[in-house]
Amino acid sequence: MRFTAFETRRVVLPLVSPFTTSFGTQVHREALLVRAIGTEGEGWGECAAIVDPVYSSEYTAGAQDIMRRYLIPRLLSAGDISAQDVARVLTGVVGHRMAKSALEMAVLDAELRASGVSFARYLGATAERVPSGVSVGIMDTLDQLVEAVGDYLRAGYQRIKIKIKPGWDVEPVRVLRETFGDDFGLQVDANTAYTLGDAPLLRRLDPYHLTLIEQPLGEEDIRQHAELAKLVQTPICLDESIVSAEAAADAISLGATAVINVKPGRVGGYLEARRIHDLCRAFGVPVWCGGMLETGIGRAANAALAALPGFTLPGDISASDRFYRTDITEPFVLEDGYIRVPTGAGLGVTPIPEVLADVTVDTELIRA
């Protein structure tokens, strides 16, 4: 269909508790939503960028700016397009994958709503529900960590991922195994906080049979991850480094990653995410769906993606109430440790107008 306008909308949602990673603490989620307005209907997208450029180079205000100045004008003048054309239309703009992903998602949602097809069916999902994992931030004390993890395990989460950084790594893992035993999936995420010289330290995680260690080294250190993989037993899983299917293929063939965290925003969209899934499946590399503290909009799309057959590990797709007291869509809830994949047309969820109005800090309509 032809798109006549795009609305960008900045929303701020308070988090139920602060979320600390090796790159900082978030107390609320400032997210950028996109509404694509086309000749046959509308669709929603959510940008994965966070408020500051500390996870990747993208950040909320920057994403809004690149959309306004460069990306949306290209889509508005592209004529009749489908979601499969978006990457090509935007290809002249270098980088800004999270911004591009949000726009492609909104176009895809509009298209699928118009044709009555769900994201899950379009992407090739084979599951009706996905196993739910939870990402647990760095805490002030080990007692706080044990309490939080105990609550999540009792709620039914199927695996725990804890954030680590130098000074908060082996000891929290040891305490969690000592307290809760060996019978639950446990993994760690360093968000690039280590160097190859830390291999002896990271090797001390080996006895705790973690499912994986996520992105221990820098985004560009793919070769060094391959070196690290020879020095530690815990499987390495790349997040930040995997910015495209090409990067995924390189990292796999270099032996830098045994598992991949697929985040649609980081790789430029759900279509590229599906290509990475297909590639990993062909290589026999397990994948799981990462998260960026999505609202119900992004969470719905992630659940659909995670229902593809190669997603064999629980992802960071937790219930809405892990982050938000009030989600902007109907909330995703944990049912026996699973999140149900929406079946309605497009995303299958829509923002609740009153809630959306409450959390919106600005909107901008960009027309042809």
Nearer to ligand OSB, 202 or 293 (CB): 293
- Which residues inside 165-184 make contact with ligand OSB, applying CB under 6 A? none
165 pairs with which residues across the strands? Answer: 168
Does residue 163 carry a catalytic annotation?
yes
| Residue nearest Mg ion, Cβ-based | 239
Q: How many residues bind ligand OSB (CB under 6 A)?
A: 11
Beta strands in the chain (DSSP E): 3-21, 24-38, 41-47, 129-131, 133-136, 159-163, 185-189, 213-214, 236-238, 259-262, 287-289, 338-340, 360-367
Task: In whole angstroms, give the CA distance from residue 190 to residue 167.
Answer: 11
Contact predicate 106/44, CB 8 Å: yes
Nearer to ligand OSB, 73 or 331 (CB): 331
Catalog residues that contact Mg ion under the rule CB under 5 A.
189, 214, 239
Task: In whole angstroms, give the CA distance from residue 126 to residue 201.
Answer: 40
Q: How far is the CB of 214 from ligand OSB (least distance, A)?
A: 7
Contact predicate 239/214, CB 8 Å: yes
Does residue 263 carry a catalytic annotation?
yes
Q: Which one is catalytic: 161, 163, 165, 230?
A: 163
Q: How many helices (H) and strands (E) does the chain have?
A: 14, 13
Nearer to ligand OSB, 212 or 293 (CB): 293
- The reply on whether position 191 binds ligand OSB by CB under 6 A is yes
Contact predicate 136/163, CB 8 Å: yes
Nearer to ligand OSB, 55 or 168 (CB): 55
Tell me, what amino acid is at 25?
T
Nearer to ligand OSB, 219 or 239 (CB): 239
Beta strands in 80-184 (DSSP E): 129-131, 133-136, 159-163
Site string for ligand OSB, 271-310 (x = CB under 6 A): -------------------xxxx-----------------
133-136 and 24-38: which strand pairing? Answer: unpaired
- The reply on whether position 131 binds ligand OSB by CB under 6 A is no
360-367 and 213-214: which strand pairing? Answer: unpaired
Site string for ligand OSB, 39-68 (x = CB under 6 A): ----------------x-------------
| Residue nearest ligand OSB, Cβ-based | 291
- The reply on whether position 351 binds ligand OSB by CB under 6 A is no
- The reply on whether position 241 binds ligand OSB by CB under 6 A is no
55 contact choice in ligand OSB, Mg ion, none (CB below 5 to 8 Å, kind-dependent): ligand OSB
Contacts of 180 (CB under 8 A, 6+ apart): 149, 150, 153
Site string for ligand OSB, 305-324 (x = CB under 6 A): -----------x-x------
Q: What one-character-per-residue DSSP string does 101-153 give?
A: HHHHHHHHHHHHHHHT-BHHHHHT---SEEEBEEEE---SSHHHHHHHHHHHH
Nearer to Mg ion, 42 or 189 (CB): 189
Task: In whole angstroms, give the CA distance from residue 289 to residue 302.
Answer: 7
- The reply on whether position 189 binds ligand OSB by CB under 6 A is yes
Q: Which positions touch ligand OSB (CB under 6 A)? A: 55, 135, 189, 191, 239, 290-293, 316, 318
The set of catalytic residues is: 163, 263
